[in-house]
Homo-oligomer: A and B are copies of this chain.
Amino acid sequence: MTAVLPLTSSVTETDPSCCPPPAGAALGAEEAKQAALVFKALADPNRVRLLSLVKAGEAGERCVCDLTEPLSLGQPTVSHHLKILVDAGLLHREKRGTWAYYSVVPGALERVAGLVADL
């Protein structure tokens, strides 16, 4: 009669002799670069306020013509900041007649929040 020897759990445990930092769970260089680009777009008080103003706008959008006064900034400066937010994938821009209208890209803020939580 032969008995089947059970595999001891120690066999499947992590080898304690393995000493480099467990970098597997950490972000890689390319992921970190992409994340930093989005954070850079948010790393300015005027851009944070613009994003917040657009989000709070009626029907979730705001005309560029309504964004200069709350920030006390000229339109070229506001347009420059808005372009950075568009390029980062946070805002959507739509030209209608004379003015451009901005809205938050659906799910964009949730994705950034998830990115931070999962760092």
Contact = CB atoms under 8 A, between A and B. Distances in A.
Contact of A26 (B27, B40, B52, B116): B52
Identical copies in the complex? 2
A109 B21 CA distance: 21
Interface of A is mostly: helix
A34 to B, nearest CB: 9
A56 B113 contact: no
A86 interface: no
Interface residues of A, number: 42
A15 interface: no
Interface of A: 21-27, 29, 32-33, 35-36, 39-40, 42-49, 51-53, 55-58, 62, 66-67, 69-70, 109-110, 112-114, 116-117, 119
